[in-house]
Amino acid sequence: MTPLILITLVVLWQCVLVGYTFTLAGNAADEAVRAGTAAAPGERQGACEQAGLDKLPGAWEGGANVTCGGSGIVTAVVTLEVPVLFPGSVGSFEVTGRAGAVEEETD
């Protein structure tokens, strides 16, 4: 019975890590698109990437990929690797967070 309980706990913990990674990816995409809408078109990618990576924990920051684009409607896509069993380990697969917002007009 003990091995079954341990396997169940490991599977549940991995599910928690997957859910947390989805939450981090969505939040990072929101932050990135917010910064991207306020930046000038030539500076959008840099501002967007920096904002997307800014609040990620170190274990998820290493394998993160942030891209922004669009004209009129700015979109941000953040891809993070889901760690296996503990943060900082090798990622087994990737999750993606997406966000979009209308570009702000600058005077």
Domain 2-102, second-level architecture: 2-Layer Sandwich (3.30)
Confidence (pLDDT) at 106 = 61
Per-residue pLDDT tens digits for 52-90: 888 888 888 878 889 888 777 888 999 998 888 766 666
| Cut 0.85: pTM above it | no
Residue 43: count other Cβ atoms within 10 Å of its Cβ. Answer: 12
Residue 9: count other Cβ atoms within 10 Å of its Cβ. Answer: 10
40, 72 contact by CB (below 8 A): no
The length of the chain is 107
| Domain ranges (residues) in the chain | 2-102
Rounded Cα gap, residues 21 and 60, in angstroms: 8
